[in-house]
């Protein structure tokens, strides 16, 4: 049970780094940059590729952005390996794109490179130390490593920053459960569901503990 719960924490949706991909195609009058920057569109990959490989030269900053946007789309489409290639290029061109570290951290975590993922989240937190989303992503990565102490500490700080962050509260509940703290686990699961009744981790946790 402990292994599978930690695995579910590692693979569950990451608030900071993931978003659903839609199949919405751009309208004919969409500007190439508008499409490329809209990483919710599968068409962004083609638009970004056209910009990267196009005849019109891009500045270093523009090229970094195009790689970042394409890498983000690859990640959201479930292709972390392609995402990593683009995000590496984006960061090499412009080390100030904080989102690139966040998405690359999530992609590295998905591919099992947990230490490198934590390093990326550390880099992102240097720029945004009070960002609860990044803290939860790092907490989930610590959990996947079995480092429950650092995981619980990160997610607790995230909740202190944003007491209404239902996903963070549910993640802490799961961490408490893994550590055998049923009372606090149930309290967190219930608190998360009071804020957002759709949180799957909390629903599943209550179902397990109610048996």
Q: Where are the domains of the chain?
A: 1-13+131-211, 17-130
Segment 125-167, tens digit of pLDDT: 999 999 999 999 999 999 989 899 999 999 999 999 999 999 9
Mean residue pLDDT across the chain: 86
pLDDT score of 9 = 56
Count of CA atoms in the C-beta half-sphere (13 A) of 86: 25
Please give the residue that has the higher pLDDT: either 55 or 121.
121
To which residue do tokens 């703290």 refer? 181
Q: Are 1-13+131-211 and 17-130 equal in CATH topology?
A: yes
> What's 189's DSSP letter?
H
In terms of DSSP H, where are the helices of 128-199?
A: 132-145, 148-161, 166-178, 182-195
Query: Which has the minimum average pLDDT: 25-29, 82-86, 131-135?
Result: 25-29
pLDDT score of 7 = 46
Note whether 100 and 92 are within 8 A (CB): no
pLDDT score of 151 = 95
pTM for this predicted structure: 0.85
Mean pLDDT of 92-109: 95
Which of the four pLDDT bands, split at 50, 70 and 90, describes residue 30? Answer: low
Mean pLDDT of 114-119: 96
Instruction: Fold for 17-130, please state it.
Output: 1.25.40
Residue 19 pLDDT > 60: no
pLDDT score of 2 = 57
Instruction: Give the Cα separation of 31 and 18 in Å (integer).
Output: 24
pLDDT score of 17 = 47
Q: Supply the CATH classification number for the domain 1-13+131-211.
A: 1.25.40.10
Phi-psi region of 147 (alpha: psi -120 to 50; beta: other; left: phi over 0): beta
pLDDT score of 4 = 46
């Amino acid at each position: 049970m402990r292994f599978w719960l930690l695995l579910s924490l590692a693979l569950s949706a990451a608030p900071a780094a993931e978003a659903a991909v839609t199949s919405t195609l751009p309208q004919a009058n969409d500007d190439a940059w508008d499409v490329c920057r809209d990483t919710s569109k599968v068409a962004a990959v083609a638009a970004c590729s056209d910009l990267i490989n196009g005849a019109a030269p891009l500045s270093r900053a523009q090229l970094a952005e195009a790689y970042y946007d394409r890498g983000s789309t690859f990640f959201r489409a479930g292709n972390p390996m392609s995402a990593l290639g683009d995000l590496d290029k984006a960061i090499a061109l412009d080390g100030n794109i904080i989102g690139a570290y966040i998405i690359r951290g999530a992609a590295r975590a998905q591919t099992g490179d947990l230490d490198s993922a934590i390093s990326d989240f550390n880099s992102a937190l240097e720029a945004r130390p009070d960002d609860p989303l990044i803290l939860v992503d790092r907490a989930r990565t610590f959990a996947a490593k079995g480092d429950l102490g650092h995981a619980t500490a990160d997610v607790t700080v995230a909740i202190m920053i944003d007491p209404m962050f239902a996903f963070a509260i549910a993640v802490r509940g799961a961490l408490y459960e893994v550590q055998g703290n049923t009372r606090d686990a149930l309290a967190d699961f219930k608190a998360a569901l009071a804020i957002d009744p759709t949180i799957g981790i909390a629903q599943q946790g209550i179902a397990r503990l109610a048996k």
